[in-house]
A = this chain, B = another copy of it.
Amino acid sequence: MKQYLKVDEWSIIEESFDPMTQEISESVFSLGNGYMGGRANFEEKYSGHSLQGSYVAGVYYPDKTRVGWWKNGYPEYFAKVLNSTNWIGIDIDIEGTPLDLAACTVTDFRRVLNMQEGYLSRSFTATLEDGKTVKVESIRFVSMTRREIGAIRYSVTPLNFSGTITVTPYLDGDVKNKDSNYDEKFWNEVEKNVESGSGYVTLKTKKLDFHVTTAMVYDIHVAGNKLDVEAETVDREKYVANIVKVPVKENEQLVIYKYAASVTSRNYGLGQLVEAAKEALQSAREAGFVALLAEQADAWKEKWKESDIIIEGDPSAQQGIRFNIFQLNQTYTGEDDRLNIGPKGFTGEKYGGSTYWDTEAYCVPFYLSTADSSIARNLLIYRYKHLEKAKENARKLGFTKGALYPMVTMNGEECHNEWEITFEEIHRNGAIAYAIYDYVNYTGDKAYLGQYGLEVLAEISRFWEERVHYVAHKDKYVMLGVTGPNEYENNVNNNWYTNRIAAWTMEYTLEALDYLRQNEQSRYAELVEKLNLQDSETDKWADIIAKMYYPADEEKGIFLQQDGFLDKQIIPVKELAPENLPLNQKWSWDRILRSCYIKQADVLQGLYFLSDRYDLETKKRNFDFYEPITVHESSLSPCIHSILASELGYKEKAYEMYLRTSRLDLDNYNNDTEDGCHTTSMAGTWMSIVHGFGGLRVQNDRLILKPSNPGHWTSYSFKVMFRGSRLQITVTDQSVTVTNETETPAALTIFDKEYTVSGLSTVSAQNVPVTI
């Protein structure tokens, strides 16, 4: 763990240049606008270690699967998020010497991610080998209001010489993915053009033929005056550039404003791409950099109005949560229902695919509370659209009915290939069902069940029905050979969480069927016919619900993560010598598997999801047993533990886990931030405040709040949208204040006392047991 970033409530700040942390910073300072984005690479040449990455949402490549040993049922490909045309590039040459931070002396380096206004800035002074010194300043953003536009203001000022500075703005599509399975490049050139002042490249992906046109224009100013020069043009495969030689005097500032547009065949016809890019560019250039930047600040102001969380008295915690919210809002904005929330957003390319169970288990609650309900609904419909593919997937694995959603996907097809995950980590099906419940419960939109929800629920229940079997000598249904959320166990029998979420899915499906039968008779009849749903099936589900096997230890009063768990040697993590951690980097896989150590919440994940079914004592016994043997080596782990710890009154643990989830990437806890940020877990961070400290739940159509304070916060406040109202909830040591920022009244319960907050008004509960 390495802490080199300065704590600040609204910004991420790096105050010196260190090549050793450059790739981590490239991840942390990433920019995105839901449509495109990229890592915080330097505009100018950089010959040190760097992961160059520019990404366009929804453009992917089905990379040929690489496995050592093929297993039947493996997918042929693994969908990769594509590194695409680098549009930020501006090479700088100072009288024959390229500016390269790996090859000069750098002072006064400062890089800032301004989260409040949504831009990245950087400034430094560089002294070249020959003693020439320049001051460089840059500002860059991808526009939240013009999704296809990125803009850069980049300035160079010679501090101790006059001479020629050569500026080479370029577009380079000759890139490849670091994680390309066979070192293959994924793009082919379609066309390109370059002239003085502008250029574009149109590339298409191999196999799927996604077309992307990236275009640039730029203006150069010296000492405040716009320059009118003829540039030398350069082009080579997938690359276009302008070379502009600019004579500059000592202390005169040379500024290049570079505007780039990326448009794709996902949104335009092939014949329209170049024109669309040019139009977007022209409009942006006409507006000008300053106006674009102002638009950007305004757009982010709106975002923050909906989703900000304020923590008073703990700048580090404040910075952590804002960073998480910022990255989530950069990654997914919900307008395009073909997109989903990739595990690394636009910050890296590891993992591939765009959709994991993270979306349903972690991200849906965030978007439910911080955005219009249509956005969470789009995330649900995304899975509805993949239902046929999920059914095919189940057939492929030998199931005669039902649907198994993929572990990782870009288009509904499975694209992950480790048997213990792909075939066995089937609890994902439960999270997809749970998200429907979560959405309906939160929004009250029961119509969703008849429109989309029930079909998904029924097909998942059918899968579970076939996946379990009855064992006479136990008089129970069992489920063999699964991997639970804790991926440090593989191929176990009767994972409590999976059995539980399976039975719960069937329960909720029956409940949804009942609701429709009673309230939407004709739709009910239609669905029964469409699904060819038999009474024998629903009877079987009821039987499975009644007789599902749940491993447990009576003596300890805990649920067992799986059959035989107590045959393991149980030694708390804190008794392990530090050199053993992180286990996933230090231990062989089999040692991890047969150890008691848990990667992420498993039984506890179930107690979180089904919180209202279990009493505090049950949660406490399980937490007390499992948390001490949990290593939290999944980014999805600390948040769930923080929430449960809050509920149980374990304030220190809740705070420890909160810092771990909120500063996971800022402090590089898992020693892997260089690969990209852990984007989906950032929604978990939000949950650890709102569901954890805030104690927010929705029961019987009411918001319930039982907030706690982790101890040393003066106050904290968060916003939630709930059934048409937007509420700001502020918690201090002894009070909970709810301000309704909208005209829609909201019904809520604070510490068991009911309130109604009228439109545009505030209620406050004083002397409530926040700190107990």
Contacts and interface: CB of A to CB of B under 8 A. Distances in A.
A481 B590 contact: yes
A457 to B, nearest CB: 23
A594 interface: yes
Contacts of A396: 588
Interface in A26-73: 65-69, 71-73
A208 to B, nearest CB: 21
B564 A493 contact: yes
Interface in A574-594: 584-591, 593-594
Nearest to A481: B594
Q: How many monomers of this protein are in the complex?
A: 2
A419 B563 contact: no
Interface in A487-501: 490-493
A418 interface: yes
A479 to B, nearest CB: 9
A424 B419 CA distance: 16
A113 to B, nearest CB: 32
Give the most central of A182, A418, A419, A490: most B CB within 10 Å: A419
A475 interface: no
B419 A481 contact: no
A645 B65 CA distance: 43
Interface stretch (A227-235, A466-474, A629-637, A661-669): A466-474
Contacts of A447: none
A478 interface: yes
B591 A397 contact: yes
A72 B491 contact: no
Contacts of A269: none
A417 interface: yes
A271 interface: no
Contact of A397 (B65, B584, B588): B588
Nearest to A474: B567
A477 to B, nearest CB: 11
B591 A398 contact: yes
Contacts of A73: 588-590
A207 interface: no
A179 B474 CA distance: 47
A473 B566 CA distance: 9
Nearest to A568: B480
A68 B417 contact: yes
Nearest to A591: B398
Interface string A179-209: 0001000000000000000000000000000
A585 B182 CA distance: 26
Given A478-B567, A590-B423, A72 B493 contact: no
A427 to B, nearest CB: 14
Contacts of A563: 563-564
A225 interface: no
Nearest to A593: B481
Contacts of A397: 588, 590-591
A66 B68 CA distance: 5
Nearest to A68: B67
A522 interface: no
Given A481-B593, A564-B564, A567-B493, A72 B419 contact: no
Given A566-B473, A594-B480, A587 B72 contact: yes
In the complex, which of the residues A78, A423, A567, A591 has the most CB atoms of chain B within 10 Å of its own CB atom? A567
Interface of A: 65-69, 71-73, 78, 182, 396-398, 417-420, 423-424, 469, 471, 473-474, 478, 480-481, 490-493, 563-564, 566-569, 584-591, 593-594
5 contacts: A68-B417, A423-B588, A473-B566, A480-B567, A481-B593
Q: Across chains A and B, which 7 residue pairs bring their CB atoms closest together, nearest first?
A: A73-B588, A423-B590, A481-B594, A71-B589, A480-B594, A397-B588, A67-B68
